[in-house]
Amino acid sequence: MKKLPIGIQTFSEIIKEDYLYVDKTRQISDLLQAGKYLFLSRPRRFGKSLLVSTLAEIFSGHQALFKGLYIYDQIDWQSYPVIVIDFNQISHTNDEVFRESLLSFLDKVASQYQIELKSQFIREKFIELIEKVAAKTQQKVVILVDEYDKPIVDHVNDLEKATKNREILRELFAVLKSSDAFLRFVFLTGVSKFSRVSVFSELNNLRDITFSRQFVTLLGYTQDELERDFEDYLQNLGSMLEMKKAPLLAKIKIWYNGYSWNGKDKLYNPFSILNLLAEQRFSNYWFATGTPTFLMNLIKKTRREVTSFENQKVSEIVFDSYNLENLNVFALLLQTGYLTVVKIESQELFQEYTLNYPNLEVKQAFITYLFEMFTENGLEAIQPAAIKLHRYLREEDLEGFMNLIRALFAKIPYPLHIEQEAYYHSLFYMILALMGVEIDLEVLTDKGRIDGVLELEKKIYLIEFKYGKAGSQMDHLTDKAIKQIEQKNYGERFLNEKRSLIYLGVGFAGKEIGFKKVNCLSE
């Protein structure tokens, strides 16, 4: 079997060292015809750097590297001068360091072409570099930019630093439009687009292909690619876990599949799949590579109800109207990979996107960090507690279940405590999600909305929450919750279920929590 290219982002190394490469060159050949100035946004660890490296080899005319791949005999191979600007390699701790690092980088590129640059200003130096490289090689120049937004994203919690770095980027990229006569192809990638309007205000001829139907599967692995190119590894994984092919593939889908930019084509994050096949165990790989602190802080700052992240509908204008000073949490969650597109519906004047978590890996990890932030329970305590809670529900030990929830809630510092019903809904929902069970929130029936439907293998819990201020009588709250379930006949839709049906009324009075359960016989 070919080696798995974990962490390998250089196309030539993958080919020369016989690593496994999923052939994306059919779409790359289409990309070359899609326009002269292109921009693509994808989450981290999705193969953006490898795509940039592949494009660099194509435009450098290294046809031999592509033998056996689709593009080998499909294009007119020519050699162009290629300038790759990788912002992972350019220091940007503050605007002064960033400016000096960029100037140094441009001088380094010039020296590779044995060119001397006279200007000491970013804009003029970049123009000078492009024009002199084109003159020396007698060819138009290809510009490939990897992680263009890193100098901004890395400082999103420090608005002053992020803004100053953004202005330097605008100064740099403004050159691309004025240098059009000397350019063959320009391609930019990044995680986010929230700074696009400011950075590229002068580069208004840039085509954003992030949601283009033609390129939704350009990065990431499709189901067909997974089963075709990793067949031997999947067999080994099945043998190790003692699972047959069908249930193994189903489990891989639940854990890692689901990223989409059109609501139809579902993709795997390459980093998660490669690590799964290498380690031969299901675990959280992608999320563990970086804690989204700035996202957590933004969610906390906006007091966004956690349950709102599931099946959230947003207008397409959200993805084109963000700016550094007023970040849209849903646009940011989509761009960074914590939410994905599950449906696109055309309205009269615009398209409406339904967003949700892409898979179990992302959902559980994201909610774990949210729960830690909301309650200040340590990560080391959350997972063991979730396992215990799951066992309590299976065994119908509601007293044990509620006692453990009380213990978790008791760790919420007073300043974090919010006397709002939605706040407790969010906390309760996060706990259930961390148990690895599915809870449907506000399920619509012909009589009203059930706060929560929790389905286990042998039991179904219908949950109704009632909130009262500190000092409220708990029995009154829990009785009121059960009465609502019964009066609105929420259990009617489960009459043909063979599983046990349990009504659970949960009351919150300040930080006090109580419950009442009623076993309902299903026939």
Q: Domain residues of the chain, as ranges?
A: 11-215, 236-356, 376-520
- pLDDT attached to residue 465: 85
Q: What share of the chain is helix, strand, coil (3-state, %, to 5)?
A: 50, 20, 35
H/E run at residue 59: helix 48-59
Contact criterion met (CB below 8 Å) for 162 and 155: yes
Q: Note whether 79 and 140 are within 8 A (CB).
A: no
Token pair listed for 456: 């286990």
Q: How far apart are alpha carbons 484 and 450 in whole angstroms?
A: 9
- Non-local (6+) Cβ contacts of 343 within 8 A are 263, 353, 354
d(CA 311, CA 345): 13
**pTM greater than the 0.75 cutoff:** yes
Task: Give the C-alpha separation, 369 to 294, whole Å.
Answer: 12
CATH of domain 11-215: 3.40.50
Q: How far apart are CA 230 and CA 232, in angstroms?
A: 6
d(CA 76, CA 99): 38
Q: What is the C-alpha separation between 374 and 418, in angstroms, rounded? A: 10
CA distance 142 to 321: 29
Closest CA to 252 of 228, 280, 232, 229: 280
**What is the C-alpha to C-alpha distance for residues 377 and 369, in angstroms, rounded to an integer?**
10
Strand locations in 224-382 (E): 312-315, 340-346, 351-356
Q: What's the confidence (pLDDT) of residue 416?
A: 46
User: What does the longest C-alpha to C-alpha distance in the chain come to?
Assistant: 85
Tens-binned pLDDT, residue by residue, of the chain (523 aa): 899 999 999 999 999 999 999 999 999 999 999 999 999 999 988 999 999 999 999 999 999 999 999 999 999 999 999 999 999 999 999 999 999 999 999 999 999 999 999 999 999 999 999 999 999 999 999 999 999 988 988 887 788 998 899 889 988 988 988 899 999 999 999 887 754 445 666 666 788 899 999 999 999 999 999 999 999 999 999 999 999 999 999 999 999 999 999 999 999 999 999 999 999 999 989 876 665 666 777 776 666 667 778 888 888 777 765 566 677 788 888 888 889 999 998 877 788 899 999 998 998 888 887 777 777 767 677 778 888 888 888 888 989 988 888 887 776 654 444 556 666 777 777 777 777 666 665 544 444 566 778 888 888 888 888 888 777 789 999 999 999 888 888 777 787 888 888 999 988 887 788 899 888 764 4
Amino acid identity for residue 159 in this structure: L
Which residues does 97 contact at the CB level (< 8 Å), separation at least 6?
91
Chain-centroid distance, C-alpha 155: 19
- Residue 92 CA to residue 268 CA, distance in Å, equals 31
H-helix or E-strand spanning residue 502 = strand 500-509
CA distance 374 to 382: 12
Whether the CB-CB separation of 267 and 260 falls below 8 Å is answered with: yes
The Cα–Cα gap between 110 and 121 comes to 15
CATH topology assigned to domain 376-520: Trna Endonuclease; Chain: A, domain 1 (3.40.1350)
| Bridge partner residues of 465 (DSSP) | 506
Structure tokens at 460: 């179904």
Write out 152-206 in H/E/C secondary structure.
HHCCCCCHHHHHHHHHHHHHHHHHHHHCHHHEEEEEEEECCCCCHHHHCCCCCCC
C-alpha dist (Å) from residue 376 to 115, 269, 302, 403, 436: 56, 30, 18, 18, 21
Q: In this predicted structure, what is the pLDDT of residue 364?
A: 83
Question: What is the structure's pLDDT at 273?
Answer: 97
Determine phi and psi for 516, rounding to 5 degrees.
Answer: -145, 135
User: How many other CB atoms are there within 10 angstroms of residue 283's CB atom?
Assistant: 11
